[in-house]
Amino acid sequence: MTNTLLANLILFLHFFYVSFIVIGLAIIYLGYFMKWVFIRNPVFRWIHLSAMAIVIVEVLFGIFCPLTEWEAELRGAQKISAYSSGFIPYWVHHLLFYNWSPWVFELIYILLFLFMIVSMFIVPPSYKRRK
């Protein structure tokens, strides 16, 4: 497998991870107002919260995101930019990465995580067995 292909696969995995967190939270609240039952599934809710908890652990311990490191390492090995990898990787890369100060990202991550914890009380998971 070429470095470009592997870097793109890691980029897309990273994109889906971030999308799961962000879109998942939006779906929880949309589902709350639309009375969707599945948004109260405890497995979904705890996996969703755990995905963000991993990001918070990285922030608190100063760990650089492994997905970002791996992608950068693979692209750097051959001096490959996301743009030279193709149109879609270029735009996915631009959706994920911004040239902001690290403290801005840390603040956003912490506030999002706190909001997700509060959401566990506003829209709690349901532990009732369905018949």
For the chain, the domain total comes to: 1
Q: Is residue 33 part of a domain?
A: yes
Residue 129 lies inside a defined structural domain of this protein: no
pLDDT, tens digit, for every residue of 24-48?
A: 999 999 999 999 999 999 999 999 9
Residue 28's pLDDT is: 98
Q: Over the Cα atoms of the chain, what is R_g?
A: 17
Question: Structural domain of residue 48, as residue ranges?
Answer: 3-122
Cα distance between residue 56 and residue 62, in whole Å:
10
pLDDT tens for residues 65-123? 999 999 888 888 655 555 566 778 888 887 888 888 989 999 999 999 999 999 999 99
Q: Which of 12, 16, 5 is nearest to 77 (CA)?
A: 5
